[in-house]
Structure 1
């Protein structure tokens, strides 16, 4: 993932807060076996310290590749929107001279994967995920030797993804003039399509921290 200086995360707390704020679904990418394309799998995840925890169905095609090469990438994206060219035209130039772009936030984790197959270890992984995604606790106990989860554990495998590198990008035109970024956030809010509102929020938040971009 290419990152311009003005698109870089301002600090670790920025991407950590963004992920914790409901961005808990991503794409696992594993290296392909010889002669095969890489394999990807969309899934929810949780973060525990320097580790991501996920689980996937046993028939998922990722397992053979992970066993051959446990170095994987996990990518999370969100708060994205298409920005029309006229919104980005330089001051004093025709609006049609503006070049469109995409705004988005993305965090890429490079990880070392460990497969979790022990039934009790898988049950514990699920308990941790349930504590995050269903904290009300309105579910049956997740126990390796009790229904309903116990009999289903054989159908999944867990993954511990130990993070070795994090690359985070917040692409919201932070090198553009303050007035232009403010106007773009306003236009996004008024358009109100798809993820325009959270995209406008991210641009305004970054604007508040960065102000005028200084290289």
Structure 2
């Protein structure tokens, strides 16, 4: 993922806060020799203090041999993406039809060292961490090895601790464009009101002025 200086995260807090609210992504695992990579969609719980994400997958999943052969993986999350019509981004001194369309989006890629967890008690602890993240209000019985109601299901899954060893974060929201162009994009997103337009608009407004606009 290419990251221009004006698209880079301002600091760790920016991408960590965003990732805390975006907990579904794709785990990319290098394939065995002669095979393509495995790309697995999944929910995960990211823990900034521990520097790791936790998740689990079914034991029959075909990626396990590749993961055990090479535990270096990437967890990729992309959201708040929108298509931006060319006229919104036309230079101030150019006709609107000369504007170049583009995409706005936020993306975080965590490079991780994967640790497979098969011990029933450890799996139960990791599952409880996940449930605590997704259901802070409670409502589900805790998972415990060899105890009802969920203990019997532990044999059918394997848990993963994804130790974060590197981060690439990008917030692509025209931060280098002249103010007039940025204002036009903000107004366009507000008027269009598409599924992710409000989130994209918030990013653009929040990051405004962080990079000297090109004239």
Do the two structures share a fold, i.e. TM-score over 0.5? yes
Higher mean C-alpha displacement, 161-170 vs 43-52: 43-52
Q: CA deviation at 1:183?
A: 2.1
- Counterpart residue number, 1:164: 165
- Tell whether the 8 Å contact from 1:28 to 1:42 is kept in structure 2 after alignment: yes
Q: Matches of residues 107-146 of structure 1 in structure 2 within 5 Å?
A: 107-146=108-147
Q: Distance in 2 between matches of 1:164 and 1:141?
A: 30
Q: Distance in 1 between matches of 2:91 and 2:69?
A: 50
| TM-score, with structure 1 as normaliser | 0.95
Unaligned ranges ≥5, structure 1: none
Displaced runs of 4+ in structure 1, greater than 2 A? 211-214
Q: Matches of residues 31-180 of structure 1 in structure 2 within 5 Å?
A: 31-48=30-47, 49-180=50-181
Aligned positions, number: 212
Q: Distance in 2 between matches of 1:181 and 1:35?
A: 46
| TM-score, with structure 2 as normaliser | 0.95
What whole-Å deviation, never above 9, does each CA across 1:106-161 have from its counterpart, x for those lacking one?
00011111101111111000100111100111011211111221111111110011
- Tell whether the 8 Å contact from 2:6 to 2:211 is kept in structure 1 after alignment: no
Partner secondary structure for residue 166 of structure 2: strand
Unaligned ranges ≥5, structure 2: none
What whole-Å deviation, never above 9, does each CA across 1:4-49 have from its counterpart, x for those lacking one?
11111111111011112x2111110000111110001111111222
Q: CA RMSD in A?
A: 1.2
- Counterpart residue number, 1:11: 11
Q: CA deviation at 1:211?
A: 6.1
